[in-house]
Each structure stands twice: as structure tokens, then as C-alpha cells.
Amino acid sequence: MKDIRSAYFIGAGGIGMSALERYFLSRGVVVGGYDRVPCELTERLRAEGALIHYDEAVELIPEAFKNPAHTLVVYTPAVPADHKELVWFREQGFEVQKRAEVLGTLTRQMKGLCVAGTHGKTTTTAMTAHLLHESRVGCNAFLGGISKNYGTNYLVDAESPYVVIEADEFDRSFHHLRPYASVVTSADADHLDIYGTEAAYLASFRHYTSLVQPGGALIVHKGLRFEPDLQPGVRIYDYARTEGDFHAENLRIGGGRITFDFVSPLGNISGIELGVPVSINVDNSIAAMALAQIAGVGIDEIRAAMASFGGVDRRFDFKLKTDRTVFLSDYAHHPEELRQSILSVREVFNGRRLTGIFQPHLYTRTRDFYREFADSLSLLDEVLLTDIYPAREEPLPGVTSRLILDNLRAGMPKRLVRMEDLPGIVHDEDFDVLMVLGAGDLDNYVPELTDILRAKLEPNL
């Protein structure tokens, strides 16, 4: 990639794509691209120097990107194959790669510390990057969310041999990676529109484990339903909250704090305190600390960095936390993610009334898992459901949010709501602990809802 002078991104506003854009910008490469609509992320990239436009038209591609000899074209799998600009670049003989292929190249040039899994991977990746960045080891990092510690999804350290990468299973993207060490947090069936069956999904994870380089390490959460396929010389460890090669002891949860002692074959660490105290982060932190130890981060460095970890936007993202009202946003969009998210919040705020506003993500995921979604959401005290966020999909006959609503726990308060009505609902009604859940555009309402709740609290603040 050293000969690339310009890089053009189709789907430039994606969280994973933007990290690569920042990588190329940091190397002095001319960066541009297309996305359907402007958003905060694309506007920030434009301010950083990226040439991004929002109309699908070949004539809008700047001249800087029209020389196939030194231009790399990167696209996301969510872009349709008949996208006009993508078709033109291919017809003109440009080098065209998926985002994951570019990341795969980086794992061949550096030591890749990769985090895979149906859920937990974004937070665990961000934790791992923070642990290394705050240590003498350092790292480069491509995150699947915006780190609250750094305000970005990309970290650079030219002196470090390590690159931290979120390994995405969608479209089998993680098969392009060649990790030095990897965590697998979970393997609950998802993306069945791509894989077809749970067996195929699990087989994809098994193949991923075969890509860990000889001399490296694989760290898997206990209870995964596939057998890793390891190359010779790969060390394998397991982990869980209270058992496994890596685990926690003396776990204490309460009063808005979580502390424990980290048990590790590479050296125990006492007095760990989580900077983001939700119980699912116990598991995430165990995995991140294991990767950090493998990379050579010291005991005192790990202890200090875990306490200072600020989290990731939209992952247990607390907007208000008072005795009267708690408000947070979480990206959970898979039934197991929802279950873990709700249980984690309930454990920290035991005895308080929990309300969730959930926006289902994708018609196919809703079709395949509406019963499981209902089971997880039934752990709440009250549920508000919005319409499905379609993302890349067209509607499916008979697939609506009502499938979930009709399967929620009998007798619990539940209703379908329009997103545009949410500000009025939050203004007029009282909520104890309110969670906004989902991976769609419902999060766009969070700033307004935060302002409404804060205004209601002001006399007591």
C-alpha cells in the first residue's frame, strides 16, 4: 500500500470505513468518497480533509481519484453491486478492495490483535486499544465505535508493532484477517441472510480461528459451540467471568462501582476497577486484559488504564445518572446483546423500574429472531417499540415490529410508538431508568431526549 497516493471510499460514512479514511489521511494520502446522506461522521471527515459527496454520480468523482495507477478504491459490503461509481471504477481497471481486505493487509504488516464475536467486540476492542495506548507498548487501532477517551475510532502509533482491529463476521469479512492474537467473545447466530443456517455461521467462526498465525494466541469465551481449528504453535486460552484460564475473583458490584481481582496465567492483577461499571464489562475487560498481557502491557499499566476507560459512544452510553432518573443509549441489536445489556443495567440499578425504547434493526433479523427479541425485552418493566430500521434491506411482507410486540411477556406495559412522538412521550411521562436500544437511527433522538429529561430534573439538580 506504500504506492497509493489517493484512496476513494464508497460508503464513506460507515464507522469502520471512516477509521480507514483517517489511516490514509494520516499517511498523507488524498482521501475522498461517496455516501448516501451527510452525517456527523462524514462532516467531521470533510473537516479533516476528506473529499466526500452525497450524490451517486461518476461525474462527481474528483480528478484526484481518476488515475488507476495510484488510486485504491475501498467499498463496504452494504453497497449494492450495481452502484454506479463502483461499477465505473471496476470497468476502468482500478484496484477495488473490500474494507476487510485492506485491514487484512495491515494484519500481515503488523501484529494484529483482533476481537471477533456476535456481541461485545466493539467495547472489547476499544478496551484493548486503550490498555495498549496508555502503556509503553502503544498501538494502532481501527475501532467499530467512537472511543470516549479519544473522540475517534482510529489511533496511530508509528513506533508500535501492534494493530488492534474489530473482526466483523458480516459477509465473512473477518476471513481476510491474519491475527497475531485474537479473542472470540461470543458466537450466537446472526446475519442469517448471509449465512443461511446457524451451522454455517459457526463454521465461519471455526475458519476464522484457523487464521491466527503460528506462534500467536487464541482466547475464547467458555461455552462457545464450535471447536477452534488452530495452526501449529498457536496457544489457546479460555475465559469467563468466574472460571477459565482468565477470570475474575472477589467480584464486587454495587453503589455504581465494579471491582475485582484478575486471575491470569500470565500474572494476576489485584484491585481492578471498571471505568464503565456495567456487569457485562467484567467479561469484556477480562478478554481485553488477556490480549494486553499477551502484547506485554504491565500490571500497573493495566490497572490504571482499566479505571480510566471511558467507554464507546452508544455502548452503555450514560447521558444522565441521578437518584431520580437514569438515561442511557446502547447499540444492542441482537437478542443476546439485548439480554446482556438489560441484565447488566438491572444489576447495577437493582430495584429500579426499567423502561426500554427499542428500534429493531433489519427485516431479516426481525423475521429470524422476533421470539428471541421478545424474550429479551420481556426482562424490562416496560417496552416501547418503534418501526424497523431497514438499513440495506427492502421490507418483507408481514415483518413488522408487531411480531415482537405480540410475543412480549403477558401483562407487561408495551406499545408501538412513532419516533417523532418520543420527545412528547418523554416530556409528559416519568421514567426511572430509561434505555434507548438498537443500532439504527433512533440514537439521533438521544440528544433531544437528554435535554428534555435534564430540563425536568433541573429544579432538583
Say what percent of the chain tops pLDDT 70: 99
- Per-residue model confidence (pLDDT) at position 380: 97
440 Cβ contact partners less than 8 Å away, ≥ 6 residues apart: 333, 359, 360, 361, 389, 391
Query: What mean pLDDT, rounded, does the chain reach?
Result: 93
Topology (CATH) of 317-460: Protein-Tyrosine Phosphatase; Chain A (3.90.190)
- Residue-wise pLDDT for 22-78, tens only, equals 999 999 999 999 998 888 889 999 999 999 999 999 999 999 999 999 999 999 887
Give the DSSP letter of residue 61.
S
pLDDT over threshold 90, residue 373:
yes
pLDDT of residue 144: 86
pLDDT digits (tens, 9 = 90+) for 299-348: 999 999 999 999 998 778 889 988 899 999 998 888 988 998 999 888 88
pLDDT greater at residue 363 or residue 392? 363
The residue type at 202: L
Amino acid at 192: L
pLDDT by residue (tens digit) across 259-272? Answer: 999 999 999 999 99
pLDDT digits (tens, 9 = 90+) for 130-152: 999 999 999 999 998 889 999 99
| DSSP one-letter code for 433 | E
| Nearby residues of 264 by Cβ (< 8 Å), 6 or more positions away | 245, 246, 289, 290, 293
Instruction: Please give the grid coordinates belonging to residue 206.
Output: 471455526
The yes-or-no verdict on residue 427 having pLDDT over 90 is yes
Instruction: Report yes or no: 11 and 75 within 8 Å, Cβ to Cβ.
Output: yes
pLDDT on residue 460? 58
The per-residue pLDDT for 1 is: 63
Buried b (16+ CB within 10 A) or exposed e, 65-88: beeeeebbbbbbbebeeeeebbeb
Confidence (pLDDT) at 407: 97
Residue 382: pLDDT band by 50, 70, 90 thresholds? very high
257-263/247-254 β-pairing: antiparallel
Which stretch of 59-63, 124-128, 171-175 has the lowest confidence by average pLDDT? 171-175
Q: How far is it, in rounded angstroms, from Cα 381 to Cα 351?
A: 11
Segments making up each domain of the chain, as ranges: 6-97, 110-308, 317-460
Position 34, amino acid? Y
Alpha carbon distances (Å) from 37 to 32, 41, 43, 345 = 15, 11, 10, 34
Predicted local distance difference test score (pLDDT) of residue 326: 93
pLDDT at 220 over 80: yes
6-97 CATH pick, 3.40.50.720, 2.60.120.260, 3.40.50.80, 3.40.50.1000: 3.40.50.720
On the question of pLDDT at 461 being above 70, the answer is no
Going by pLDDT thresholds of 50, 70 and 90, the confidence category of residue 391 is confident
pLDDT single digits (tens) 86-109: 999 999 999 999 999 999 999 999
Whether the pLDDT of residue 368 is over 60: the answer is yes
- Please say whether the structural domain 110-308 has been given the CATH code 3.40.190.290: no
